[in-house]
């Protein structure tokens, strides 16, 4: 394959000065994000039912360091301390998720667990007391285990009904105070890793060529059902908005050859179009229908009606970018990439990588990729409101590092500076970006990678009672949010 000349980073530089809060409109919202299973712990407290992640993480061999989320970073007991930290750093929003099995322990929706309601009421009230908006995700991958075991979870269409009951229970109980909802976080990661590759709960890889698309189909229908219910019954009364959280790497064509250019476009259709085309255009992208044929489920007219206008905003989770080349034999191996006929390239032997290496094997630092992704969404979907609901990087592995070294996270400070500058540029390009959430407030349980991968602005000392220590990146945000930094130190 012809080597692509590496892009010159300067080509994408926006300005010599550091990004400032003033590069964003005053009502642009800055927050930090987390999810229930990754931070709460208290797995057996408060009458919580088990989720698929409890079962998955307790099965030997599934989590690289043999850990699980039983205790996680104990936010269940320490939410006040964590909200105090958010407030100290100057964040105006906290994105967290509700654990479905705290609200309905078996998922069935017959009896609400009052202890779960009380816990989230406490969190919401504590946030509001500090002037921090609660941004609530209803589903961040922790399906009640009973729903999986008794009926096949996301593979059964009945799940749509149970999700809707759960969602409505949350709107009813919390919607007087919660004005920003997200139905589902990253259906793509949850179905590709959960039903094709098998490295996420529920750990299935038996029928990748059908289950993956079926599980995604039901997540879309669950989104549409819950979001339409909110929009028709609660939105006006409660005055809030509801969105869907989608992850997308930027796909940069490996070369100017037509087959690579169309491979990159196809890749974006398999990442974003998969979920957005049904909502904005009434069906899956044509290229998916063509390549998948009967393996791709169909929408009924009723489904299409529910999907249409089922979004007030798009939540974009963005971390990294890849070169994409056409390939009929994808070295990524898995069915999902084979079907797409793409090869994802981050580094090529002897060539320059697409970006610097972040602390996770999959994460390359490509700030311009977020601007391109935001502009792509604006152009393809008629400039809808977008919030960047996750963006961040894991620390470099430093096994023998001292605490003070771990706290001086220069890599992350630079990552945030450069990515946030590109978000500001996307706004100047005309995209309707309205907010930005850093992933993550705290180091936490990074799914199958356990606790070794630290994405936090705040260090959690797993060897010392889970004590919290803000890293340099937390202080960078604090200064940035005060709006008193930048312009090379000079005031405007």
Are residues 139 and 52 in contact, defined by beta-carbon separation less than 8 angstroms? no
Write out 3-23 in H/E/C secondary structure.
CCCCCCHHHHCCCCCCCCHHH
CB of 243 to ligand PNW, least distance (A): 14
* Residue (39 or 160) nearer to ligand PNW, CB: 39
CA distances from 8 to 323, 353, 374 (A): 15, 11, 21
| Binding residue for ligand PNW, selected from 181, 313, 437, 439, defined by CB under 6 A | 439
CA 270 – CA 134 distance, rounded (Å): 31
Does 35 bind ligand PNW (CB under 6 A)? Our answer is yes
Q: Does 185 help bind ligand PNW (rule: CB under 6 A)?
A: yes
Q: Which residue is nearest to ligand PNW (CB)?
A: 362
Query: Any binding-site annotation on 319?
Result: yes
Tell the smallest beta-carbon distance from residue 301 to ligand PNW (Å): 32
As measured in angstroms, the least distance from the Cβ of 249 to ligand PNW is 6
b vs e for 19-50, b when ≥16 Cβ sit within 10 Å of the residue's Cβ? bbbebbeeebbbbbbbbbbbbbbbbeebebbb
Q: With residue 356 as reference, give the H or E element that holds it.
A: strand 356-357
Instruction: Please answer whether residues 93 and 132 qualify as being in contact, where contact means their C-beta atoms are separated by less than 8 angstroms.
Output: yes
State which of residues 67, 87, 156, 189 lies at the interface with ligand PNW (CB under 6 A). Answer: 189
Write down the least CB distance from residue 140 to ligand PNW, Å.
6
Alpha carbon of 171 to those of 33, 154, 240, 274, 419: distances in Å?
A: 20, 22, 10, 27, 33
Report how far residue 308's alpha carbon sits from residue 220's, in angstroms, rounded to the nearest whole number.
11
- The nearest distance, CB 451 to ligand PNW, in angstroms, is 12
Q: CB of residue 486 vs ligand PNW: minimum separation in angstroms?
A: 27
Cis peptide before 194 (omega within 30 of 0): no
In terms of CB distance, is 319 or 381 closer to ligand PNW? 319
Q: Compose the 364-393 pattern: x for residues touching ligand PNW by CB under 6 A, - for all others.
A: --------------------------x---
Token reading at 11: 């080509």
Q: Which residues are catalytic?
A: 186, 390
Q: Is 186 a residue that touches ligand PNW (CB under 6 A)?
A: yes
Range in contact with ligand PNW (rule: CB under 6 A) among 100-108, 184-192, 325-333, 424-432: 184-192
Element (H or E) spanning 314, and its range? Answer: strand 313-317
Q: Which stretch binds ligand PNW (CB under 6 A): 183-191, 219-227, 279-287, 293-301?
A: 183-191
Q: Which is nearer to ligand PNW, 23 or 249 (CB)?
A: 249
Q: Binders of ligand PNW among 57-116, rule CB under 6 A?
A: none
Q: Does 241 sit behind a cis peptide bond, omega within 30 degrees of 0 on the bond before it?
A: no
Of 77-85, 182-190, 226-234, 345-353, which segment contacts ligand PNW by CB under 6 A? 182-190
List 351, 362, 398, 405, residue binding ligand PNW (CB under 6 A): 362
470 bridge partner residues = 458
121 is in an annotated binding site: no
CB of 186 to ligand PNW, least distance (A): 5
Instruction: Give the C-alpha separation, 201 to 215, whole Å.
Output: 13
Alpha-carbon distance of 186 to 57, in angstroms, equals: 19
The answer to whether 29 and 40 are in contact (CB under 8 A) is no
Distances 466 to 376, 403, 451 between C-alpha atoms, Å: 41, 13, 12
**Residue placing its CB nearer to ligand PNW in the complex, 229 or 346:** 346
| The only residue of 247, 269, 277, 418 in contact with ligand PNW, by rule CB under 6 A | 247
Should residue 319 be labelled a site residue for ligand PNW when binding is judged by CB under 6 A?
yes
**Contact mark string toward ligand PNW, 38..67, x via CB under 6 A:** x-----------------------------
Quickly count: other Cβ atoms within 10 Å of residue 400's Cβ. 5
Q: Looking at beta carbons only, is 450 or 483 nearer to ligand PNW?
A: 450
| 140 marked as part of a ligand binding site | yes
Helix H or strand E encompassing 183: strand 180-185
Least distance to ligand PNW, CB of residue 488, Å: 32
Site of tokens 């009929």 = 328
How far is 417 from 433, CA to CA, in rounded Å?
17
Question: Judging by beta carbons within 10 Å of its beta carbon (0-12, 13-18, 19+), is residue 270 exposed, middle or buried?
Answer: buried
Binding segment (CB under 6 A) for ligand PNW, from list 181-189, 225-233, 302-310, 403-411: 181-189
Has 439 been labeled as part of a binding site?
Answer: yes
Which residues of the chain form contacts with ligand PNW (CB under 6 A)?
35, 38, 185-186, 189, 247, 249, 317, 319, 362, 390, 439, 446, 455
Binding residues: 38, 140, 185, 319, 439, 446-447
**Binding-site sequence positions for substrate:** 38, 140, 185, 319, 439, 446-447
């Amino acid at each position: 394959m012809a080597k692509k000349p590496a892009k010159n980073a300067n080509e994408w530089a926006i300005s010599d000065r550091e990004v400032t809060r003033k590069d964003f409109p005053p009502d642009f919202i800055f927050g930090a994000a987390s999810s229930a299973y990754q931070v709460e712990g208290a797995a057996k407290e408060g009458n919580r039912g088990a989720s698929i992640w409890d079962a998955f993480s307790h099965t030997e061999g599934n989590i690289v360091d043999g850990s699980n989320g039983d205790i996680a970073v104990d936010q269940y007991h320490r939410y006040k301390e964590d909200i105090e930290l958010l407030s100290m750093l100057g964040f105006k929003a906290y994105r967290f998720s509700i654990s479905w099995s705290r609200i309905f322990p078996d998922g069935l929706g017959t009896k609400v667990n009052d202890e779960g309601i009380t816990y989230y009421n406490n969190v919401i009230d504590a946030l509001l007391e500090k002037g921090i908006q609660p941004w609530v995700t209803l589903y961040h991958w922790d399906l009640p285990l009973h729903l999986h075991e008794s009926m096949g979870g996301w593979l059964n269409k009945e799940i749509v009904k149970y999700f809707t009951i759960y969602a409505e229970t949350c709107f009813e109980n919390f919607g007087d105070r919660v004005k920003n909802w997200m139905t589902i976080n990253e259906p793509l990661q949850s179905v590709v890793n959960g039903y094709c590759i098998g490295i996420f709960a529920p750990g299935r890889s038996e029928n990748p060529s059908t289950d993956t698309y079926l599980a995604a189909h039901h997540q879309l229908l669950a989104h549409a059902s819950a979001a339409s219910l909110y929009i028709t019954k609660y939105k006006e009364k409660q005055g809030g908005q509801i969105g869907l959280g989608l992850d997308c790497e930027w796909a940069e064509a490996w070369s100017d050859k037509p087959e690579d250019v169309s491979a990159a476009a196809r890749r974006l259709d398999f990442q974003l179009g998969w979920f957005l085309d049904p909502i904005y255009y009434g069906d899956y992208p044509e290229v998916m229908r063509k390549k998948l044929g009967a393996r791709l489920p169909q929408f009924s007219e009723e489904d299409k009606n529910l999907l249409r206008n089922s979004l007030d905003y798009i939540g974009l989770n963005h971390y990294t970018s890849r070169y994409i080349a056409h390939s009929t034999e994808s070295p990524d191996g898995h069915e999902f990439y084979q079907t797409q006929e793409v090869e994802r390239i981050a580094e090529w032997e002897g060539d320059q990588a697409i970006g610097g290496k972040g602390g996770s094997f999959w994460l390359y630092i490509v700030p311009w990729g977020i601007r391109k992704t935001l502009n792509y969404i604006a152009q393809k979907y008629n400039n809808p409101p977008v919030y960047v609901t996750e963006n961040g990087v894991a620390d470099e592995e430093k096994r023998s590092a001292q605490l003070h070294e771990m706290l001086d996270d220069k890599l992350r400070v630079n990552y945030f500076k450069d990515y946030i500058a590109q978000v500001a540029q996307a706004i100047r390009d005309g995209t309707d970006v309205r907010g930005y959430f850093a992933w993550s407030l705290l180091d936490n349980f990074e799914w199958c990678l356990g606790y070794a991968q630290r994405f936090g602005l705040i260090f959690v000392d797993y060897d010392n009672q889970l004590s919290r220590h803000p890293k340099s990146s937390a202080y960078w945000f604090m200064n940035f949010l005060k709006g008193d930094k930048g312009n090379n130190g000079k005031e405007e």
